Amino acid sequence: MRTPRSRLLFAAGLATVLALSGCAAPSTSDNTGTNASVNVGLILEPTDLNIRKTSGVALDQVLLDNVYEGLVRREADGSVVDALAKSHEISADGLTYTFTLNDGVTFHSGAELTANDVVWSLNQVVTDASIKDHATLASIRTVSSPDPKTVVIDLSSPDSNLLWNLGGRAGQILEEKATNDMATSANGTGPFELKAGAWKQGDSLKLERNDNYYGTKAKVREVVFSYIPDPTAAINATLTGDLDVQTGVDASLSPQLERDKDITLTKGRTTDKYTLVFNPKVPALADPKVREALRLGIDHKAIIDSIGGAGVPQGGPIPALDPGYQDLTGLVPFDPEKAKALLAEAGQSDLTLTLTVANHYPTVISNVLTSQFKNIGVTLKVNRVEFPTWLNDVYTNHDFDLSLVNHAESRDFANWTDPTYYFGYNNPKVQELYKESVAATDPKVADAKLAEAAKIVAQDNPADWLFTGTALTAVRKGVTGFPTDSTTSRLYLGNLAVSE
Amino acid sequence: MTRFLLTRALLLVLGLAVASVLIFLALRLLPGDVAQVIAGTDATPERLAAIRDSLGLERPLPVQYGEWIGGLLRGDLGNSVVTGTPVAGEIWEKAQVTLPLALLSMLIGLAIAGPLGVAAALRRGRPAGFALSGGAQALAAVPVIWAGMLLVIVFSLWLGWLPAQGFPRAGWSDPGAALRSLLLPALTIGIVEGAAMLRFVRSATLGVMGQDFVRTAAAAGRTRTGALLSHGLPSVALSIVSVLGIQVAGLLVGTVLVENLFTLPGIGRMLVADVGNRDLTKVQSEILVLTAIVLIIGTLVDVVHRLLDPRQREVAR
């Protein structure tokens, strides 16, 4: 009796599996034009949505430019264009910025944007030191609005970074009377809105087109960001059609995508600086000869090859997308013999150093470094830690020999001018040049001063810049307008469209 | 019986109390805190201090523990430090992925281990028996991650039958789609768990086959298989229940791995993310809930055992 019944059960189970397998995937035939829904794969999810409090580019990626807007907006190529402002004027002395606001701008709550909202938003950042990026608006003396369509910013000293910073977190404009919980919802003016329940924490986040947008409306109905931290799972999601766009494609897995003729891989520039910092508080690393030797011992080409070629050499602290860049890769070329000689001169014949590295970077990078250092007689021990542990040990307590993380933020050269930063780098000449660059009213002068400062930093060898990351993005046929550059920190989707 | 139940309940409460202290203290040993995660790589010491203060991280540990336990006693699991949302709600949302996944995995495991385990015992010493137990030995040694990747390659990438990752945003409002997305992850756990359980079933069956009551039934004219199936199986079921109780913890660990591999928004993936964010009030409640599940199931298994096994009932009186 039992055997036939269990066979029956087995057959029923099998039938269920087959039936489920047979279910057709939801049809995507009407998923084009203004009705399109685009699935975008991202890697890192923001911890919460509060742009005033929580750091991290994962938050900038989805909300800035799409949901929140500033008076101006950063473009992927590093330039700054008007956004909430229709136009702006800068006085000859560089101390007064006058912005004229666009007409008919409303928040997603339905309230109309007023100049008062702008004044209130900027003042909030200027006056409250606990707000993210407060320091970037330090040059602002007053923000005022002579009439409902005009906002005037007065500076205490010229600031060549001001427009750029207004295009960042600090410059985002919020509604003064809004009562929403900023940690889990967002009320901005942008071309997309985040409706209630659109963020499914630990899974995905959905942006819907703002049909009341004052400017050119978004070209797609909605964008769904899926957070897929596992690189293989992400590739699978692209191959099976779950994703229309996959950002941050793992270069070593990308050949799998190249076989699919419906998928295009784009390569974009980023400001992802993989920075190997030498802690100057460690006696051996306080010796300039040792630091130079370590840099001479690094073969950057081999490191870039090891990660599937997804990077370009970066000889100094400033990457190619940022102002003040110049090619410094020739300063300290790969020369293991010279490295050994320098180490001998420094009396370091048997040097052992520990590398503290956050564990979400490819293991292969630290493996290659270990073997390259072994070639010059330096033993590298690798301590892979969770990112919060890195923040605690390296960033806060400065307790490390060598540290490796990706500094993804653009235009963050100021870290080299702050001796209390975990870099521990202190060169008054560099600090002076940076100040002059910020105060310059002529952009050319600002860039030249910055370039000069960056070269001095590179010559002091406080760190090695292993490479600048290349952003690999997989885009399905028919999808256009997805940004290629700087996708790790910004994703403006106002031009995203689906054809056919 | 009443006394037995009372003792069990008391032990359960005691176990949970000890677990709560251990969980609370172990999490405080983790380097780094949520304020550092929020403030990131451009934080000044002042900003860090301000965030710590606003989150109440500087309060003494006994105060923090007392608050947590006080909340628990009122049935409140607390709120996330990062988003401020209630932990209970989040656990309930993610449990809608994890519990069906665990249940499905267990059913698949049982469907493999039960019939094949008995078959392996019946064919002991014969080629089929060797093949079954050898195969199970090998399968049980396969890392879950590996099994999952193979299944994805075959069923998603080659055949295109099942999704390779993810769970529908709409959740269970489309039960077919939800079930389809859980099938490969459940198979991944189920096959490996089933192979491990198969060995228990086999040895339990072998044990029962040597028992007097099976031999008597066989002597009374039943075939050996017939005697085993009609008289021995309840006894085998008992051992399977015990093993299941032990396997629950393993099953939960399996779901953590598999949820990350298949990008499922379940409790396991949430736990990994929350530890990464150092959202300790959330993590401690999550781990305590998981511990409670394991302890409660262990207690239930004990009780069920008592009820199913006539010999133990005698003793209890």
Distance CA A322, CA A270 (A): 9
Q: Which residues of A touch B179 (CB under 8 A)?
A: 20
Q: Which of B39, B44, B152 faces A236 most closely, judged by CB atoms? A: B152
Interchain CB distance below 8 Å, A240 and B179? no
Q: Which of A23, A48, A133 faces B83 most closely, judged by CB atoms? A: A48
pLDDT surpassing 80 at residue B308: no
A233 to chain B, any CB pair closer than 8 A? The answer is yes
Q: Which residues of A touch B180 (CB under 8 A)?
A: 20-21, 23
B46 to chain A, any CB pair closer than 8 A? The answer is yes
Interchain CB distance below 8 Å, B42 and A45? no
Q: Which residues of B touch A202 (CB under 8 A)?
A: 94, 265, 269-270, 273
Nearest CA in chain A to B153: A236
Flag the least confident range among A138-152, A388-402, B76-90, B249-263.
Answer: B249-263
Interchain CB distance below 8 Å, A391 and B37? yes
Determine the pLDDT at residue B314. 53
Band (A188; pLDDT cuts 50, 70, 90): very high
Neighbours of B95 (CB within 10 A): 17
The C-alpha of A132 sits at a distance from chain B's nearest C-alpha, in angstroms, of 8
A128 to chain B, any CB pair closer than 8 A? The answer is no
- Eight-state DSSP code of residue A166: H
| Percent with pLDDT over 70 in chain B | 97
Distance CA A372, CA A304 (A): 13
Interacting residues of A39 by C-beta distance below 8 A, sequence separation 6+: A224, A226, A242, A243, A244, A245
Burial of A362 (0-12, 13-18, 19+ CB in 10 A): middle
A229 to chain B, any CB pair closer than 8 A? The answer is yes
Contact B212, B124 (CB under 8 A): no
Interchain CB distance below 8 Å, A232 and B156? no
Determine the pLDDT at residue A22. 46
Interchain CB distance below 8 Å, B155 and A21? yes
A60-114 per-position pLDDT tens digit: 999 999 999 999 999 877 789 999 999 999 999 999 999 999 999 999 999 999 9
Which carries the bigger pLDDT value, residue B194 or residue B310? B194
B117 to chain A, any CB pair closer than 8 A? The answer is no
pLDDT surpassing 50 at residue A284: yes
Band (B309; pLDDT cuts 50, 70, 90): confident
Q: Give strand ranges (E) for chain B.
A: none
Flag the least confident range among A12-21, A293-302, A383-392, B18-27.
Answer: A12-21
The C-alpha of B311 sits at a distance from chain A's nearest C-alpha, in angstroms, of 26
- Give the residue carrying structure tokens 């307008």: A481
Q: Which of A21, A55, A387 faces B39 most closely, judged by CB atoms? A: A55
Nearest CA in chain A to B260: A230
Determine the pLDDT at residue B114. 85
Q: Which residues of B touch A233 (CB under 8 A)?
A: 164-165, 261-263
Q: Which residues of B touch A23 (CB under 8 A)?
A: 176-177, 180
Burial of A402 (0-12, 13-18, 19+ CB in 10 A): buried
pLDDT surpassing 70 at residue A17: no
Section A180-186 average pLDDT: 94
Contact A71, A122 (CB under 8 A): no
Determine the pLDDT at residue A26. 45
A53 to chain B, any CB pair closer than 8 A? The answer is yes
Interchain CB distance below 8 Å, A240 and B41? no
The C-alpha of A466 sits at a distance from chain B's nearest C-alpha, in angstroms, of 19
Contact A356, A305 (CB under 8 A): no
Interchain CB distance below 8 Å, A48 and B82? yes
Contact A469, A272 (CB under 8 A): yes
Interchain CB distance below 8 Å, A201 and B90? yes
Q: Which residues of A touch B263 (CB under 8 A)?
A: 226-230, 233, 237
Interchain CB distance below 8 Å, B277 and A237? no
pLDDT surpassing 90 at residue A316: yes
The C-alpha of B171 sits at a distance from chain A's nearest C-alpha, in angstroms, of 11
Determine the pLDDT at residue A327. 96
A205-254 per-position pLDDT tens digit: 999 999 999 999 999 999 999 999 999 999 999 999 999 999 999 998 99
- For chain B, the average pLDDT equals 86
Q: Which residues of A touch B115 (CB under 8 A)?
A: 6, 10
The C-alpha of B202 sits at a distance from chain A's nearest C-alpha, in angstroms, of 18
Band (B317; pLDDT cuts 50, 70, 90): very low
pLDDT surpassing 60 at residue A23: no
pLDDT surpassing 50 at residue A25: no
Determine the pLDDT at residue B316. 45
B197-211 per-position pLDDT tens digit: 888 888 888 888 777
Interchain CB distance below 8 Å, A229 and B263? yes
Neighbours of A223 (CB within 10 A): 25
Interchain CB distance below 8 Å, A388 and B176? no
Band (A11; pLDDT cuts 50, 70, 90): low
A376-411 per-position pLDDT tens digit: 999 999 999 999 999 999 999 999 999 999 999 899
Interchain CB distance below 8 Å, A200 and B265? yes
Contact A192, A67 (CB under 8 A): yes
B137-148 per-position pLDDT tens digit: 887 788 888 888
pLDDT surpassing 70 at residue A14: no
Interchain CB distance below 8 Å, B180 and A20? yes
Interface test with B, best of A57, A169, A240, A260 (most B CBs within 10 A): A240
ipTM for this prediction: 0.87
Determine the pLDDT at residue B62. 93
Determine the pLDDT at residue A28. 45
Q: Which residues of A touch B40 (CB under 8 A)?
A: 54-56, 391
The C-alpha of B317 sits at a distance from chain A's nearest C-alpha, in angstroms, of 34
Give the number of A-B residue pairs with CB atoms closer than 8 Å: 162
Interface test with A, best of B83, B161, B201 (most A CBs within 10 A): B83
Interchain CB distance below 8 Å, B40 and A55? yes
Interchain CB distance below 8 Å, B85 and A388? no
pLDDT surpassing 50 at residue B106: yes
CA angle A312, A318, A321 (to 5 degrees): 65
Distance CA A430, CA A417 (A): 7
Determine the pLDDT at residue B312. 66
Segment holding A264, helix H or strand E: strand A263-278
Q: Which of B85, B149, B157 faces A184 most closely, judged by CB atoms? A: B85
- For chain A, the average pLDDT equals 91
Determine the pLDDT at residue B122. 81
Portion 412-451 of A in contact with B at CB < 8 A: 412, 415
Nearest CA in chain B to A18: B161
Which carries the bigger pLDDT value, residue B137 or residue A272? A272
Section B45-63 average pLDDT: 88
The C-alpha of B188 sits at a distance from chain A's nearest C-alpha, in angstroms, of 14
The C-alpha of A392 sits at a distance from chain B's nearest C-alpha, in angstroms, of 5
Determine the pLDDT at residue A24. 42
B87 to chain A, any CB pair closer than 8 A? The answer is no
Burial of A410 (0-12, 13-18, 19+ CB in 10 A): buried
B214 to chain A, any CB pair closer than 8 A? The answer is no
A180 to chain B, any CB pair closer than 8 A? The answer is no
pLDDT surpassing 50 at residue A126: yes
Burial A427-453 (b: 16+ CB within 10 A, else e): beebbebbebbbbbeeeeebbbbbbbb
Band (B135; pLDDT cuts 50, 70, 90): confident
Interface test with A, best of B46, B146, B152, B165 (most A CBs within 10 A): B165
Band (B313; pLDDT cuts 50, 70, 90): low
Which carries the bigger pLDDT value, residue B54 or residue A187? A187
pLDDT surpassing 60 at residue A199: yes
* Phi-psi group of A243: left, alpha or beta (phi > 0 → left; psi -120 to 50 → alpha; rest → beta): beta
Determine the pLDDT at residue A2. 41
Kindly report the backbone phi and psi dihedral angles of residue A212, in degrees, each rounded to the nearest multiple of 5, phi listed first: -100, 15
Portion 185-214 of A in contact with B at CB < 8 A: 200-204, 206
